[in-house]
Structure formats: C-alpha cells, structure tokens
Amino acid sequence: MKLTSEEAFELSRRFRELSVELGNFRFSKWKELSPAQRRTTEDAEWSLLNASSDMITSAVGIVLDETETSFQKLQGSTNKAKRAIQTLKTVRKVINIATAAVGLAAAIISRDPGAIAKNAKGLFSAATEDDT
Amino acid sequence: MRHSQSITSRIQLFLLTGLLVLGVGCTNLAPITEFADISAQSAAYTGLVTQYLQFPERQKRFQPSSQHARLDQMSRERAAQKERLLLRQAFIEEYMDALGQLAADEPVTYDKEIDALGKAVAANKFAGERDAGAFGSVSKILFRAAADDWRQRKLRELITESNSPFQEVVGALKRIVDQGFAGDTENEEIAIRNYYQPIILSSKDKAGIAALEEWRDTRLAEVRVWRQAITDYSEVLSKIASGHQKLYDKRDDLDNKDLLQLMSRYAQDLRKRFDTLKSL
C-alpha cells in the first residue's frame, strides 16, 4: 500500500509520541528499573525516534513526487515568461539597429567612404550586441 | 512651412489615434516588482535544507552507536533528495524573478533609444529638427503605451496560467517546512533530552549536573534558533503564496491602487522576515 504524504507525516508524529511516552516512563521510573530494563527501553525509544525521522524523509519524498506535475507546469510558465522578457529586450535592440541604420543610409547617400565604414561598424555592433 | 505644419498635425493625429487604439496609459507596477523581487530572494534561502540534510549526522552525537548505521542510511536518502528540494526553491525564485521583470518598467523604457533614433533622423536630414523632435516625443509615448500594454498582457497571462501550479508547489514546500523540518526539530529536542537526562540522573556530582544542564540548555537553544528560522521561512512562503493569489484575483486590474498598496505591504513584511532569516 502506498502512503500519502499526509499519512507519512502523521505516522512520523505517532512514532515521535510513542518515543516520548517511553522516555517519560523510563525517567519517571528511573530508580525502579534495572539497568537492563533501562537499556531495553532506551533502545526502543531511539528506534521509534528514528522511525519518526525516517517517516519524515519518506514524507518529503512523497510530497516532491505528488507535486511533480505542478512543478513541471510552473517550469513551462517560467520559460514562457523568460521568452517574453527576451522579446522586451529585443525591442530595445531593434531600435538601436534602426538608429545605426539611419546613419549608414545617410553615409551611403552622401557617398562618404569613411562615414560608410564607421556607420557600418556601428550597425554591426548594434546588431550583434548581447541582449543580456 | 506649410508642409512641416502638416507633418506635425499628422503626428498629433497619429499620437491621438495610437493612444485611443491602445486604450492604456503608462502604468507603474513597481510594487509588484518589489514584491516579486523580495519573494525571489526569500524563497532562495537554503539554510533549512542544509539543516535537514545534516540532521542524521548531527543525531550521531546523541544516539548510541547501535543506531549509527540507520542514521547513515537516512543521510543517504536525504542526500538523494537534495537536488529536488533545492530545485523547487530555485524555481520559485526564478519564477518570481521573471514575474518581477515582466512587471518592471525598466525593460520597456526605450526613451533613450528613441531619442537616439530621433537625433539620427534629424542629423542625417531625413526630417527637420522640429519634426524629428515631434517624432521622438510621439514614438516615446506610443512605444511606451504599446510595450506597457503588451507587458501587462504577458504578466496577466503568466499569473493566470501559473497560479494553480504555483500554489501547489509553494504549498508543498510549506508542508515540507511545517511538518518535515519542524518535525526534525522536535526529534532533535527529544534526542538531546534522551542523551543528557540519564547522565544527569546517574550523577551525584552537583557541579557536574549543573554543567551538564547548561550544555543541554545550550543545545536546546540552538534548536530554538533553528525552529525560529522554520517559522519565519514558513511565513515567507505563506506571504508569497497569498501575494500571488491576490495578483491572480485582480489579474484584470493589475494597476489597481489597492492591489499595489497591498503588494507594497507584502514586500515590506517579506523584507522583515527575510532580514530575520539572514541574521539567524
């Protein structure tokens, strides 16, 4: 039978309570218990406490499994949002390219080789600049 | 002259038409960005995952050696969960960061670029200086309005599409924190008691007992700090989830004044919690 995360957390709590109960018993009857009895009770306490911690580990794994689909969906949405942000940055790049292109067009019209080279370089930089 | 006036009139008409078509003014969603930014920073707090992973090893200090093999096994199992746990946190951070960037003014302000384009147009005699200036002004407003409208649409789409999985993922992380990580602190307290109490009960040396009690209390105080971090982080997750839900509820009215004020308050609360977390 497969446990749900809630059941696993609940079991963890129950094991913890049992461990505490045993501990309370051991300490309240400390003088009445023989060393062997104390040892046996103590071993049981640690076993129950570790069972509680083991159930926490299991529950955490189950929670992660249970929400894997939602997590995947969220990843998809985040990637879409990142693409939208990239588009916003691209708009900036397009305007920069247009500015450089205006300069190049004027240089070509004026047939100024120096200005053409300079503006062509500017256009190249605007077109290849990093978006990030 | 008449030609120039005609261009200017056309530009004014263009501007008016553009704004009417877009039907939006430029909005300032800064409080949403602020909320998203601090949410991203807070969600990224990994101190509790580290505590969770180190728990079995720490337990060895208190537990008899007969239990150590079991604790080693627990360590391995928890270590195998590390990447998935951190990935959840990282994705909440990444998602909130993307949301904040979409809400931010910065990426859609192209004023500087448009000024440069206007100047290039004028400098290269494609238009008169006055027309180029008018062109720049009109373009700035239209670009801003169009980009603003597009940005809000994308933001609305993101919030609408993500709210349900987001609530689930954040809710799941909160369950892990509230029940799993907090459960560890309770087990740690029990282990501390189980370790010190028999020694105290068996001892007849009063000074020794006092010293042991002091040690025990120091250990318990460490656990209380850890528990405080759990409470704060849990609150952080609640606020992030609740803030996102408010955005979802008002997704068609994201520039609503009350919503933006609320987002500002959420951001302030989150900042306080995060500062406490960092100081622990």
Q: How far is A49 from chain B (nearest CA, A)?
A: 7
Label residue A82 by pLDDT band (50, 70, 90): confident
Per-residue pLDDT at B28 exceeds 70: yes
How many domains are there within chain A? Answer: 2
Separation of alpha carbons B88 and B205, rounded Å: 51
Answer whether residue A71 is part of any domain: no
Residues A53-77, mean pLDDT to the nearest whole number: 92
Per-residue pLDDT at B25 exceeds 90: no
Query: What pLDDT, on a 0 to 100 scale, did the predictor assign at position B150?
Result: 79
Q: Which chain B residues are within 8 Å of A100, Cβ to Cβ?
A: 120
* Cα separations in angstroms, A1 against A4, A7, A82, A95: 10, 12, 41, 62
Q: Which chain A residues are within 8 Å of B98, Cβ to Cβ?
A: 78, 81-82, 85
Nearest CA to A39 out of B68, B64, B196, B204 is that of: B64
Measured between alpha carbons, how far apart are the two ends of chain A, in Å? 50
In this predicted complex, what is the ipTM? 0.78
Query: Residue B98 has which token pair?
Result: 């993307």
Question: Of chain A residues 9-48, which have a CB less than 8 A from chain B?
Answer: 9, 12-13, 16, 19-20, 23, 27, 30, 38, 42-43, 45-47
Asked if B165's CB is within 8 angstroms of A73's CB, the reply is: yes
B200 inside 8 A of chain A by CB: no
Per-residue pLDDT at B5 exceeds 60: no
- Percentage of chain B with pLDDT > 90? 62
Separation of alpha carbons B7 and B123, rounded Å: 18
Q: Which among B125, B162, B175 has CB closest to A77? A: B162
Contacts of B91 (CB under 8 A, 6+ apart): A71, A74, A75, A78, B169
Residue A12 and residue A60 in one domain: yes
A59 inside 8 A of chain B by CB: yes
Residue A53 and residue A105 in one domain: no
Range of the domain at A25: 5-66
Instruction: Give the HSE-up count for residue B262: Cα atoms under 13 Å, Cβ half-sphere.
Output: 16
Residues B31-45, mean pLDDT to the nearest whole number: 91
Residue A14 and residue A58 in one domain: yes
Which of A24, A44, A66 terminates a domain? The answer is A66
- Note the pLDDT tens digit of each residue in B143-166: 666 667 778 888 999 999 999 999
Q: Is A17 left (phi over 0), alpha (psi -120 to 50) or beta?
A: alpha
- Note the pLDDT tens digit of each residue in B56-67: 999 999 999 999
Label residue A91 by pLDDT band (50, 70, 90): low
Q: What is chain B's Cα-based Rg?
A: 29
Residue A59 and residue A100 in one domain: no
Per-residue pLDDT at B106 exceeds 70: no
Residue A33 and residue A54 in one domain: yes
Q: Cβ atoms within 10 A of the Cβ of A113, count?
A: 8
Answer whether residue A25 is part of any domain: yes
Averaged pLDDT score across all residues of chain B? 84
For every residue of A87-118, DSSP letters joined together read HHHHHHHHHHHHHHHHHHHHHHHHT-HHHHHH
Domain boundaries, chain B: 28-104+156-279
Label residue A126 by pLDDT band (50, 70, 90): low
- Percentage of chain B with pLDDT > 70? 75
Query: What pLDDT, on a 0 to 100 scale, did the predictor assign at position B62?
Result: 96
Per-residue pLDDT at B22 exceeds 50: no
Residues B175-179, mean pLDDT to the nearest whole number: 97
Answer whether residue A58 is part of any domain: yes
Query: What pLDDT, on a 0 to 100 scale, did the predictor assign at position A104?
Result: 67
Separation of alpha carbons A62 and B165, rounded Å: 17
Q: Position of tokens 């300069």? A: A103
Query: What pLDDT, on a 0 to 100 scale, did the predictor assign at position A74?
Result: 84
A71 inside 8 A of chain B by CB: yes
- Note the pLDDT tens digit of each residue in B116-139: 666 666 666 555 666 666 556 655
Q: Which residue has the higher pLDDT, B105 or A46?
A: A46
Residue A62 and residue A83 in one domain: no
